[in-house]
Chains A and B, each alone.
Chain A
């Protein structure tokens, strides 16, 4: 064999270095928003960050690990509920919100043992059942007052403007944290293994991938992210009406954002969240026909543009912003030989 191969693996490209740089600059600039922008704009940005979190988390679950769930609102609701419980137990309110997110993630660990035995459709529906059951159980808690709900009263101890700024920074921090976690995970060996599980579980096992372990890690990460989003939603809304948090519309939003933006791409769900945020801003009210409209658009994308907007752009123009994949730098002669051989095979 050839002793030294003129082939190398490329992860960082000038484009991706620039993209990461721009991203960091944007985040730094956004951190100053509470000093510059008005209350209305800050509230909107918080909402946007929450959308980005749930879209990115659903994408990690479905787009990268192939675990399509219509029940992530279970964790969204449980994160908020746990925060209320912890605050009621006397824990400082912002700590209670952070711990609530963690509690949502913790619950997913024993749950994963049952749920990840289910496959495809069974898993999707099973997760929806989990959300319904979680909803029913939370409503049993006296503290919640049934469907009437309650509120995170401890938050009202803060002046409205301070509260808004703290919640904003928490939301920004959570978004950056979860995106960074996905980024690190995708670049790791685990990231490649998880994608193999998505594409073909048996074949992944055949090349040594520990399938269950990979799924559990993603499942718990996605649950924690959804729970954090729920806790953040509580921090802006203050009121907790169970039906709002455990509602299936959250799944519709997540699916819409991930599918339209680009399932299985890092950038796609961020783009999808931005688009959804704008759509929400224009149409405002959440009605049944609005949900139907979202569903139709999502179905359109699933059928005719399965890689979503960002995936299509990537394929068409060969752009890679985030260095989460692997490109081989090959001598032209090697690529040319492969092409020639293929053309010959096609011609014969």
Chain B
């Protein structure tokens, strides 16, 4: 939400990847990526399949360590701190393919998040969970075993669980895929509400028109590199971005 003519917000980034390289054997999946998100910023990440979006999110959330480069949270090096520590610091994420705790109820799923990641106890934890479930329209399913949920509800649970940890940065990986227009509208409203609460958002999504209702900055990854970064209209009009998508045959 920087000024109209300010090219870069003066604000300190809260979460940043600096010169991030990720290799799997000989395959270079991230090639010196620099990425930073400021507090209360909302960034969308787009890019063709296999561009390295999820891999970048894994590195930022501590789920995997970069081959080179560093991850900084509030200017502290957290590159090798591990996923649990990232979460406790306030970096929460959702998974592209939902990963519910199948043997536990929906409420218990969020309870783990509120007590472990959010370090809350007792009634305080309960209230956080109930609020997160309500925000994600999952309260009615609270007592169901998570393994009985359908895909849409699993995605909502991913979001609710991430929220229950009290994040300052929320990393979302394609939570909007396969939604009807109505459901997508609901999701946009939820994310906007989170922004109002001061949570920074990094959102990977293929459905750009949904993304554009929330983010003010767009980053395009292709082949493990950032090929465009800036205001959404500018990024979408960038010939390199159009080329990347045409190469994939996806418009």
Q: A residues touching B (Cβ–Cβ < 8 Å)?
A: 1-2, 5, 7, 9, 189, 192-193, 195-196, 198-200, 202-211, 264, 325-328, 330, 334-339, 341-342, 345
Contacts and interface: CB of A to CB of B under 8 A. Distances in A.
A337 B162 CA distance: 24
Given A5-B134, A192-B115, A337-B140, A206 B102 contact: no
Interface stretch (B82-90, B219-227, B232-240): B82-90
B90 to A, nearest CB: 10
**Most chain B CB atoms below 10 A, which of A2, A198, A203, A342:** A203
Contact of B103 (A195, A204, A330): A195
Contacts of B138: 338
18 contacts: A5-B131, A195-B103, A196-B116, A200-B101, A204-B112, A205-B83, A205-B84, A206-B63, A206-B93, A207-B113, A208-B119, A209-B84, A209-B117, A330-B140, A334-B140, A337-B140, A338-B141, A341-B137
B101 A208 contact: no
A202 B108 CA distance: 17
B22 interface: no
Interface string B108-122: 110111011111010
Given A202-B63, A203-B95, A338-B141, A211 B84 contact: yes
B139 A209 contact: no
A203 B117 CA distance: 12
**Most chain A CB atoms below 10 A, which of B92, B141, B161, B162:** B141
Interface string B76-106: 0000001110011000110100011111110
B3 interface: no
A210 B84 contact: yes
B109 to A, nearest CB: 8
Contact of B142 (A2, A195, A330): A330
Nearest to A335: B140
Nearest to B104: A195
Nearest to B113: A207
B118 A208 contact: yes
Given A208-B165, A334-B140, A338-B141, A326 B102 contact: no
Given A196-B104, A210-B84, 19 more contacts: A1-B135, A5-B131, A9-B130, A196-B101, A203-B95, A203-B99, A205-B84, A206-B63, A206-B92, A206-B99, A207-B164, A208-B113, A208-B117, A325-B105, A328-B107, A330-B140, A337-B140, A338-B140, A341-B140
A206 B61 contact: yes
Contacts of B99: 200, 202-203, 206
Contacts of B164: 207
Given A196-B104, A200-B101, A328-B107, A207 B142 contact: no
A327 B107 CA distance: 8
B108 A325 contact: yes
B7 interface: no
A287 to B, nearest CB: 36
A5 B131 CA distance: 9
B145 to A, nearest CB: 9
A189 B115 contact: yes
**Most chain B CB atoms below 10 A, which of A193, A205, A206, A342:** A206
Given A207-B113, A330-B140, A9 B126 contact: yes
B213 interface: no
Contact of A338 (B95, B125, B139): B139
Contacts of A211: 84
Contacts of B105: 325-326
Contact of A210 (B108, B116, B152, B153): B116
B19 to A, nearest CB: 24
B143 interface: yes
Contact of B140 (A9, A189, A339): A339
B157 to A, nearest CB: 11
A202 B95 CA distance: 10
A345 B150 contact: yes
Nearest to B102: A199
Contacts of B135: 1
B103 A207 contact: no
Contacts of B61: 206
